[in-house]
Structure 1
Amino acid sequence: MLDRLRLGESFASISRLFNVNESTVRSIKKSEDKIRSSVASTSLSAKIVRDPAIEKMEVALSLWIEDRNQKRVPLSGPMVREKAKRLYAHFKEPDGSFSDFKALLVLDNAPGHPRELETMHPNIKVTFLPPNTTALLQPMDQGIIQAFKLYYIRRTFKITLDNMECNPDMNTMECWKKFDIAKCIVNIKESLE
């Protein structure tokens, strides 16, 4: 069909020849690059096209194994097989009412984000932010964090100084020992105001 379209045959004549709608022929033409690359990557001796759920499961399983290895979690054969079964069941489930939903996942350009995320699901588009644009694109880096740190440190030193003035025998180390999580949280709250 694609070869006939390349030779100049009309969509209408090809749809009549193959007994399909003209819109089907147009969508096949639109996906020509994908179809040709799929055919080129498939072995000539292949008799069966692989289940897409298996391919998705393999990609997800490899990401899971890589994550476990980075976290230094020991893996065994039965654990990997069980995870593979669960992933396969997940990808084989009918889409139901959520099949039309699409999502955009925007990630920074950190080296820890695997590039395989881009091909995980057809309804999820992964976009990586350009490098060296953090200060422009992420508002928390535009002075808010720096201002918070300044207020927090100023308040912490003020609390330490107040404690030492109230109790002249207390040194800095004793003040720090009395500075617990509850006081830290109060300090954070007041520094944000």
Structure 2
Amino acid sequence: MASKRRKLNLKEKIKILDELKAGEKIATISKRRNIHEATIRTIRRNETTIRKVVAAASTGCFLSGKKMPSRTYVAKQEKSVKGFKVAKERITLLLCSNASGDKMLKPLLVNKNLNPRALKGIDKTKLPVHWMANKNPWVTASLFKDLFLNHFVPEVREYLRSKQLVFKVLLVIDNTPGHPDISHKNVKIMFLPPNTTSLIQPLDQGIIATFKRYYVKNSFQHIINEIETNNEMNVISAWKTFDLKNCIDCISCSVREITKTTLNRCWKNLWADVAVMDTENETLSEYADIFQVSHAIGGEGFHDITIEDINELFENVVISDDEILQNFAENDCNDNKEIDEDSTFKRCWS
């Protein structure tokens, strides 16, 4: 029996829970980890709290994969490249994860067009994102309700069933028009107070920024892959071919790269007791990976890329008051109308 109590972080608690699920005895874990058996019993009793608090937030509107840092020769040639057509389409991505960091739900992607050319012939139900469309590609109340009832509820129910937990969860979301006042007997919804999202919303505390850094790396890597598989392809032509399907592939890769530690650590401002204060600086490593891929592309603006150049790509589109008013004034039935697409979906967030 351990003689001294010590405070365990969430990572250790999750490992203990996994060991219990694997059939290890409390006494065995207590002896190996030098902690009281009573502490282990308390952790097991509180498993529901540890695993069942979930947060959701969108990245805002961003464009899908074509914007390059302004110092790069690609960006400077953008307007003069033959065949390039500046696209103004935007997409919105909504991410959702739990406090323990061991579950990130399938993201929601809202696009302007329901059936874009880049996805012709593709079964959208098998995409790595929940595919939805709206005339203005924002998360409207009707889209959020659809996501909540038809995707969030069944996915969370299945996750908790796999952990042998009762389906009772707390969902933390920001208080915006796109997040309606909905209810479910097994889900308690907590809306964050106005003007606090950037301060305490877990996904705004680093998860979205981490995702975007991975996305930039993966979209740069796409250019390299295209060049390596096609001898006639150069950086400009590879950049021109980047479409919405490539964007979704990069989103999928980027979401998978987000670590459990990152997902959990970002709860520190909202729920300090559950967050692991890891001293490892993952951010510098993420930037280093982008530098490496950028140097492999080479050329002006790539071989000497800076953190400031990368951060330039993270700026979200600013939605004007007129756009917001127009969006909510229009009928929802028109919002999901298919719109013809003259060219493939082409750009990154700006």
TM-score of the aligned structures, taking structure 2 as reference length: 0.20
Higher relative contact order (CA 8 A, sep 6+): 2
TM-score of the aligned structures, taking structure 1 as reference length: 0.32
Decide which structure has greater helix share.
1
Decide which structure has greater strand share.
2
Q: Name which one, 1 or 2, has greater alpha-carbon Rg.
A: 1
